[in-house]
Structure 1
Amino acid sequence: MNRKDRRAAAKQERTGRGKTASAAKIEEAISRAQVGDLAGAEALLEPLYKADPDQPEVSHQLGMIYARTGRTEAGLELLRRAVEARPEESLYWNNLAAACLAIERSQEAVDAVRKALALDPKNFMAWQNLALGRRDLGDRAGAVEAFDRASALGSLDAGSLASWGECLGVLGRFPDAEAVVRRGLDMAADDPAILSLLGWLLSEQGKSEEARETFRRSLELKPDQFLAAFNYAVLSLRADDNEVGLRWLRRATSIDPKSVTAWRFLAIELARQNLKDEALPVAERTLRLAPGDTEIQNLVRKLKGGGEEIDASFTIDFGEATPAATVVPKAPEPKALQGSGLFDLSVVKIGNDD
């Protein structure tokens, strides 16, 4: 039974005269969950589950609510009960996969979603969840293939487009990645994570000024992004805007105090600009994080030498690629985005569960 058939069956059941009290409560709970009233839905479903834990749609709906409200382990237990009772339901397998993705059980998610697709090859959300699972397992090519299939079946949301673009970027397909991410920005123009991702893709294509402006816009929206701050600093220094570059390098080290790269860049740039009083403690901090860094060891010795000038060898290699902005956007319930799996809130026939 495909999704269209399931919805038709559910509608027919809702209008049938023989509807049981249990089925009516399940339907009311589903209606509440679909408009975001998860607490109200849970209050209706829990007594039904306690009275009869063998109703698969009760287990399914209650499991989704638990997973969507942070009680994922409990939700997984209920979702597994549902698929055991009705292994022929593609929707159940997809939602089990979505819950697994929420707690990074990526292989279990992929296994579940493959069962969903075997039952319903046109399950749009299942293709997206397969893409997310493959991405989390490091299979970017497989993720791109799954996103391609999902895109052919329906419209991807901004978070999924961002994830697709990130996978394309990691594969070096930067123009394709940029086009996909810009589609995401058409839907979420003020999303700082998607803007940071676009900035990285532009930088990788040598579009430094546009990349710098994109990172600046992202940081205006959310200043505490490490990758955006670091890349904006590097691009500013590359453009000889030293004041801005230093300010955002300092900000990057405060956002992520354990980043050796940020501390190292800051130490070298401070020394290059003859800000030795600040450069020395920064270089010493870098050595505490990376004691074997011979270049910083030499820099510390020169800084402690007093009047000795810092030679030209202490420069930042601006030819290096900027770090990938792999952080992707989150969204509030009920619209699940990238990283947490996509729950299918459709319904199945529920009238015969009493």
Structure 2
Amino acid sequence: MRRPLLFVSLLGLALLVALALWSPWRRPAPEVVRPAPYRDLDPAVAALVERTIARVLERPREAGAHGDLGLVYEANQLWAEARACFETAVALDPSHPGWRLHLALAARQTGDHATARTLLETLARDAPDLPAVHERLGEARLEAGDLDGAARAFQRVIDLAPQQSNGYTRLGDVLLQQGRVEEALALLEQAVSLDPEDRQAFYLLGRAYQRLGRADEAETALAKGRDATPRYLPDPLSERVQRYAVNLPARLERAGWLLQAGHPDQAATLLQQALRDHPDNPDVLNNLAVAYLHMNRLDEAHTLLERARALDDRRFGTYLNLASWALRTGDPARALAYAEDALARAPDQVQIQMTRAQALAALDRTSEALAAAEDAHRLAPDQAAPLALAGDLLLQLDRPAEAAGRYREALRLDPDLLPALIGLTRAALRLGQTDEARRTFERARRLAPEHPYVARLTRQFQDRP
């Protein structure tokens, strides 16, 4: 009677062995996602993809390896490939919130909004403490017309990240769409106080002011919100995505940010690498030339700009940069000629008229320079810089009252514009308006105490009774 039991035990052992042999590690490894054959990859992207694929081949059953390859594809806008990688990563590790979030992002970017929203709804329940997930979920609900659901998601963002402007900006947008303007206004004012660089918040704040009939405040806020684009909270994988963005648009964008941040040397290093991969790209040549102009490497900048012009003489930007180069070399006549060439190619560009005005002023053709600055203002009435330049030129023409008016208009659009603060101080002093001069000077000194003209004004005020 014991033999059947022994037979059953041996059979069970055999089944356990078979199951062990058919473990996940014995199954065929997932396929590695390679770029579609029609892709014409940037050399830097191609090299990064090949290196990352090699790591996947070393660890073909690891979710992290496939997910990392997906991040490389995502960073360089290869969304179909990114989605396939994230699908593999999620299949291998369904509990990882990062792979699930980026699968939702890739689904949205490939046009599958319904799947993206379903993924985000599930993830928000499973990972309720990730603010980036709720921000993306709110956006998906908003796109689907679910305003109440979007509002709940964005309120959750505020609860999880109260020191970030994103949740306030997004919820303010929803409330504006619901007609709850006063509530939206409070949120949007909170957003800009948390982050004065949040252009989307300023744009929406301007719309709220408009709807409340506060026209002057609306104009100022809308000017600060010009060219606003949505900004997203980082998630645990965002830093890696940024690091993997090596395609040409990403490198140009990063170089532009470095230039704006006052790091032309770092921008130049990045652009030199891009130029090795794209030696005949006029955009790369122009951007590297601009970095060299900031570094006072004028001969090298000129050589690059002439190469760009030889490759494509239709681009107004090349002539505009040549005009800037000529101004820096002390040749305003040549700068004016280049600015006129740029104007012929793009008659509605504000910066061209600004550069024309600077060249004309350097040639002592101040009235013509003022006309160019006024043309720039007409092209962009919501920008403060043309008004400040017009004020400078009116001061040169000994018209301080009109200059003061231009400076005040500029400061209404941008209260921290240093040239306008300095200019209004000078104009007010000429007009004998000492109190206003002191107020604007103190604002200028708080913003830039080491600025040479601020230092000169400091001595001037010290010499006054």
Q: TM-score range, shorter-chain basis?
A: 0.5 to 0.7
Q: Secondary structure of 2:39's match?
A: helix
1:75 to 2:270 alignment: yes
Q: Cα offset for 1:252?
A: 4.0
Q: 1: distance between equivalents of 2:398 and 2:460?
A: 20
- The CA RMSD measured in Å over matched residues stands at 3.9
CA contact (8 A) 1:90 1:119 kept: yes
Q: Match of 1:322?
A: none
Instruction: Give the AA of the match of 1:263.
Output: T
Instruction: Give the AA of the match of 1:231.
Output: G
Q: Summarize the Cα distance change of 1:176–1:93 in structure 2 as closer, same or farther, 3 Å threshold.
A: same
Q: 2: distance between equivalents of 1:106 and 1:36?
A: 34
Q: Match of 2:252?
A: 64
Q: Match of 2:349?
A: 157
Instruction: Give the AA of the match of 1:163.
Output: T
Instruction: Give the AA of the match of 2:252.
Output: M
Q: Secondary structure of 1:206's match?
A: coil
Q: 1: distance between equivalents of 2:425 and 2:396?
A: 15
Q: Match of 2:463?
A: 268
Q: 2: distance between equivalents of 1:215 and 1:107?
A: 36
Q: Cα offset for 1:201?
A: 0.6
Q: Which aligned pairs between 1:247-286 and structure 2 lie closer than 5 A?
A: 247-258=439-450, 259-269=454-464, 271=465
Q: Which aligned pairs between 1:4-15 and structure 2 lie closer than 5 A?
A: none
Q: Which aligned pairs between 1:25-44 and structure 2 lie closer than 5 A?
A: none
Q: 1: distance between equivalents of 2:407 and 2:348?
A: 24
Q: Cα offset for 1:262?
A: 0.9
Q: Match of 1:185?
A: 377
Q: Summarize the Cα distance change of 1:120–1:225 in structure 2 as closer, same or farther, 3 Å threshold.
A: closer
Q: Match of 1:22?
A: 39
Instruction: Give the AA of the match of 1:21.
Output: Y
CA contact (8 A) 2:252 2:284 kept: no
Q: 2: distance between equivalents of 1:264 and 1:209?
A: 24
Q: Match of 1:173?
A: 365
CA contact (8 A) 1:168 1:177 kept: yes
CA contact (8 A) 1:107 1:137 kept: no
Q: 2: distance between equivalents of 1:130 and 1:91?
A: 14
Aligned equivalent of 2:435, options 220, 243, 251: 243
CA contact (8 A) 1:124 1:150 kept: yes
Instruction: Give the AA of the match of 1:72.
Output: A
Q: 1: distance between equivalents of 2:441 and 2:365?
A: 29
Q: 2: distance between equivalents of 1:177 and 1:206?
A: 14
Q: 2: distance between equivalents of 1:100 and 1:239?
A: 41
Structure with the higher helix share, 1 or 2: 2
Q: 1: distance between equivalents of 2:41 and 2:229?
A: 19
1:122 to 2:314 alignment: yes
Q: Summarize the Cα distance change of 1:143–1:30 in structure 2 as closer, same or farther, 3 Å threshold.
A: farther
Q: Match of 1:204?
A: 396
Q: Secondary structure of 1:94's match?
A: helix
Cα shift readout 1:235-283 (whole Å, capped 9, x = no counterpart): 22332333323333444444443444212221233x1xxxxxxxxxxxx
Q: Cα offset for 1:198?
A: 0.8
Q: 2: distance between equivalents of 1:219 and 1:45?
A: 38
Q: Match of 2:339?
A: 147
Structure index of larger Rg: 2
CA contact (8 A) 1:150 1:156 kept: no
Q: Secondary structure of 1:23's match?
A: coil
Higher mean Cα deviation, 162-171 or 70-79?
70-79
CA contact (8 A) 1:46 1:62 kept: no
Q: Secondary structure of 2:325's match?
A: helix
Q: Secondary structure of 1:122's match?
A: coil
Q: Summarize the Cα distance change of 1:257–1:122 in structure 2 as closer, same or farther, 3 Å threshold.
A: closer
Q: Summarize the Cα distance change of 1:131–1:38 in structure 2 as closer, same or farther, 3 Å threshold.
A: farther
1:234 to 2:418 alignment: no
Q: 1: distance between equivalents of 2:386 and 2:416?
A: 15
Q: Secondary structure of 1:264's match?
A: helix
Q: Summarize the Cα distance change of 1:188–1:46 in structure 2 as closer, same or farther, 3 Å threshold.
A: same
Instruction: Give the AA of the match of 1:152.
Output: A
Normalising by structure 2, we get a TM-score of 0.43
Q: Summarize the Cα distance change of 1:169–1:43 in structure 2 as closer, same or farther, 3 Å threshold.
A: same
Q: 2: distance between equivalents of 1:20 and 1:102?
A: 41
- Give ranges in structure 2 of 5+ residues lacking alignment: 1-35, 46-73, 80-227, 233-237, 259-265
1:97 to 2:114 alignment: no
Q: 2: distance between equivalents of 1:174 and 1:31?
A: 52
Higher mean Cα deviation, 183-192 or 254-263?
254-263
Q: 1: distance between equivalents of 2:372 and 2:392?
A: 14
User: How many residues in Structure 1 have an aligned counterpart in Structure 2?
Assistant: 236
